[in-house]
Structure 1
Amino acid sequence: MRRFMEITASGLAGGNTRPASLGPSTGLLGQIGGLQVRLAVTDDERTAAQRLRYQIFIAERGARAPDCDGGRDEDRFDAVCDHLIVIDTHRPGRDADNIIGTYRLLRDDAAVRSGGFYSASEYRIESLIARHPCKRFLELGRSCVLPAYRSKRTIELLWQGIWAYCLQHDVDVMVGCASFPGVVPAAHALPLSFLHQHASAPTEWNVAPAAPDFTELDMMPVEAIDARAALAAMPPLIKGYLRLGAKFSDFAVVDPAFGTTDVMVILPVETISDRYVRHYGSDAGRFAPAG
């Protein structure tokens, strides 16, 4: 299950702050140098994002996703999702040919039209939403970047795009799955136990597993957890979520198709670290395109 997210908080808490310099006049959500982030707007761009996902998840990482066809990673959710794309404008050719990163964004209103959230196959996400009926939820997933572009600048630009998008849609809570490699949770006992001890979601935000193959994160006694070693063993994305202030469900779920051990990340906007507000700007203005 593919993967997830960052944003900042201040303007979202009030529900009315929007990025003044971003929007339909340019279509761009952010720019750093020759890289631009925006939503896919044509069928060619959406198809290119699916081909990039296939290249990373299937060809590079060996996933066995059943919905892949013709070199595309595609499922029934794609039609109702927004697809965030990063484009290298320094490369020749069409924008659709120069997509180097992507994220899939599924808002709760669109999830109703598609029959639910993608992550519902692993976690009982509906029960979480039912406990917070006045909150607007956004599921992020299927994130990937070409190997040559896996840098701080690219990730920062993806986060910029998500932040601007969330401001535009008054999102209150982000959810989604983040992955450890492999299908043996015990191989990640140290970092999973660290997440349980230091970042377990409180009861009102916790999510029970829906899939049969799950493991409790609480695999080691607290006195056996070396924090430095645990953080060193974590995928960079999960460490990033920790810095944001994200919390995690108490259960890891094995995704055999993608060959991963997944954890559910829960990030209410109001709990995001203030330093990310200052970094991106409460109106998503730091990396906004000029003009």
Structure 2
Amino acid sequence: MSAIDILNRDTTEAAPPSTAAAQKDGDILGRIGNLETRLARTAREIDAAQAVRYRVFVDEMKAQLPLEAMRRQRDVDAYDAFCDHLLVLDRTIEGDPEDQIVGTYRLLRQDVAMANGGFYSASEFEIEGLLAKHPDKRFMELGRSCVLPEYRTKRTVELLWQGNWAYALKHGVSAMFGCASFPGVYLEGHALALSFLYHNVLAKNEWAVSALPHLARNMDLMPVEAVNPKRALMALPPLIKGYMRLGAMVGSSAVIDHAFNTTDVLIVLPISSISDRYLNYYGADAGRFAS
């Protein structure tokens, strides 16, 4: 849900590690300065990532989780048991790796999802129909995007995306999707931004996808001539702007998530839609970590 805008980033900022370093840390998916990204290695690291999620989603965004999760101060659900957990760690923080986690993403590959009851996003959006239109493709769901406030910088989101891309390369992923959120549950408060998405980056044809009928809320709230693009871009959450810069599309309807106090849209990002600029940029670094 929370992430940093990757628009207008300096592509010279990321310095790839040496081959020797990559070989030494075989499960590292990216490294920029004092930050590194990799998958969680232990149950303790997953628990620490859930604590970071709690700090952002509950303490900051006022989500209402089940009572046991609130008691434990952990954002946790059944999907955590079989998803991979991408972490960003600040290696300058003293202590164990669990103390160094400053950001996280939850990754769920299609084969794993199908073996465990499906995708998380299917509780809000018609994911099965999207998959059925692409039987030859491998999908991956991105979820629970979360970065601590003091680390919401271009460098951190660069590293998260480098990790996502390296992971996608490693597993032969053809397309990514996942929920992205606006704060709050009042649709009309986001009329400008939602209408802009609907008129400009709507997923169509074989990529078209809607919310489940009983949850679907209209995003076409303003006529196209009334939408000021500059104002709309300013009103978009940074995560969604980052997805757009990569070439993502959005589903045709939104969903109100009262538990998380958000308005959700579905992001759809075929690998083939990612611009050459970003493929070249992420590929240059992520390819080192994908084997």
Alignment size in residue pairs? 275
- The equivalent residue for 1:160 is 162
1:4 is displaced (CA, Å) by 8.1
1:5 is displaced (CA, Å) by 11
Structure 2 counterpart of 1:236, from 235, 238, 257: 238
Q: Secondary structure at the match of 1:218?
A: coil
1:3 is displaced (CA, Å) by 6.8
> Compared with structure 1, are the counterparts of its residues 23 and 256 closer, same or farther at alpha carbon in structure 2 (3 Å cutoff)?
farther
- The equivalent residue for 2:12 is none
Identity of aligned residues (%): 54
- The equivalent residue for 1:98 is 100
1:89 is displaced (CA, Å) by 0.6
CA distance in 1, matches of 2:57, 2:254: 20
Q: Secondary structure at the match of 1:210?
A: coil
Answer yes or no: is 1:41 the counterpart of 2:41.
yes
AA paired with 1:62?
K
- The equivalent residue for 1:14 is none
Looking at secondary structure, tell me which structure has more helix per residue.
Answer: 2
CA distance in 1, matches of 2:46, 2:213: 29
AA paired with 2:107?
L
Answer yes or no: is 1:178 the counterpart of 2:180.
yes
- Runs of 5+ consecutive residues of structure 2 not aligned to the other structure: 7-18
CA distance in 1, matches of 2:59, 2:243: 27
CA distance in 2, matches of 1:171, 1:150: 27
Q: Secondary structure at the match of 2:268?
A: strand
CA distance in 1, matches of 2:128, 2:50: 26
1:25 is displaced (CA, Å) by 5.3
Answer yes or no: is 1:32 the counterpart of 2:32.
yes
TM-score for the superposition, normalised by structure 2: 0.89
1:147 is displaced (CA, Å) by 0.8
Q: Higher mean Cα deviation, 63-72 or 110-119? A: 63-72
- The equivalent residue for 1:197 is 199
1:23 is displaced (CA, Å) by 7.4
- Ranked by relative contact order (alpha carbons within 8 Å, sequence separation 6 or more), the top structure is 1
- Does the 8 Å CA contact 2:256/2:262 hold for their aligned counterparts? yes
1:258 is displaced (CA, Å) by 0.4
> Compared with structure 1, are the counterparts of its residues 60 and 93 closer, same or farther at alpha carbon in structure 2 (3 Å cutoff)?
same
Q: Deviations over 1:35-85 (max 9, x none)?
A: 110000111101111111111111121101226251111101011100000
1:278 is displaced (CA, Å) by 2.4
Structure 2 counterpart of 1:81, from 83, 102, 105: 83
CA distance in 1, matches of 2:32, 2:44: 24
1:213 is displaced (CA, Å) by 3.4
AA paired with 1:244?
L
Q: Higher mean Cα deviation, 202-211 or 69-78? A: 202-211
> Compared with structure 1, are the counterparts of its residues 138 and 23 closer, same or farther at alpha carbon in structure 2 (3 Å cutoff)?
farther
Q: Deviations over 1:244-285 (max 9, x none)?
A: 111111101101100111100001001111110222235625
CA distance in 1, matches of 2:119, 2:92: 36
1:138 is displaced (CA, Å) by 0.3
CA distance in 1, matches of 2:83, 2:229: 37
- Does the 8 Å CA contact 2:162/2:285 hold for their aligned counterparts? no
CA distance in 2, matches of 1:115, 1:109: 10
TM-score for the superposition, normalised by structure 1: 0.89
CA RMSD of aligned residues (A): 2.3
1:203 is displaced (CA, Å) by 2.1
1:26 is displaced (CA, Å) by 2.1
- The equivalent residue for 2:220 is 218
CA distance in 2, matches of 1:123, 1:24: 41
CA distance in 2, matches of 1:112, 1:282: 32
CA distance in 1, matches of 2:41, 2:122: 27
CA distance in 2, matches of 1:156, 1:121: 29
> Compared with structure 1, are the counterparts of its residues 264 and 127 closer, same or farther at alpha carbon in structure 2 (3 Å cutoff)?
same
CA distance in 2, matches of 1:166, 1:210: 27
Q: Higher mean Cα deviation, 271-280 or 24-33? A: 24-33
> Compared with structure 1, are the counterparts of its residues 76 and 239 closer, same or farther at alpha carbon in structure 2 (3 Å cutoff)?
same
